[in-house]
Amino acid sequence: MNTETIDEAIGKYVNERMKKGKKTASERFLTYAYLKHGGDELAEFMKKVVGLSRYYINFLNIMENPFRGPEVAWFGSMVIVAVFGGYLASQEESRMLGILIVSGTLANAWSLLCAVAKKWLDVGVMIAIYREILELAEKEFNSAT
């Protein structure tokens, strides 16, 4: 049994969960599992779903941290530009340019904050959905064995 069918089932659950809710997604997931892997393969399928769901949860817990990923580089470059803008603002002949650079940096800081908040919320929702899949698969695995 390959992981593509397991990943496909998990993906279908996630899409269905986002559109129609937990009950419908659970029913469709179980229907897919029983039709595709009925009989003896069902326990193995559910065991692999549990393992893959745990992997996704652990991966997303790492990615949930806003200081891992491109946000850190964006923040670092903003700090450097803001320091340079502050230096320019302290010079008489380039004060206006420094003020514009610092204000642009503040606008980018707001944009970064919004992007990090959106990422954090999206990852939190995905973790919750993968936990639902994990619980559903564990329950079905226990009933199949």
pLDDT tens-place values along the chain, 145 residues long: 677 888 888 888 999 999 998 999 999 988 888 888 777 788 888 889 999 999 999 988 887 777 777 888 889 999 999 999 999 999 999 999 999 999 999 999 999 989 888 888 888 899 999 999 999 999 988 887 6
The tokens describing 42, both together, are 């069902």
How large is the C-alpha radius of gyration of the chain? 23
pLDDT at 54 (0 to 100): 93
Rounded Cα distance, 50 and 44, in Å? 10
pLDDT at 68 (0 to 100): 72
pTM: 0.75
Rounded Cα distance, 115 and 134, in Å? 28
Q: Give 117-123's long-range contacts (Cβ < 8 A, gap of 24+).
A: 119/66, 119/71, 120/64, 120/66, 123/60, 123/63, 123/64
Domain range summary for the chain, segments of one domain joined by +: 3-144
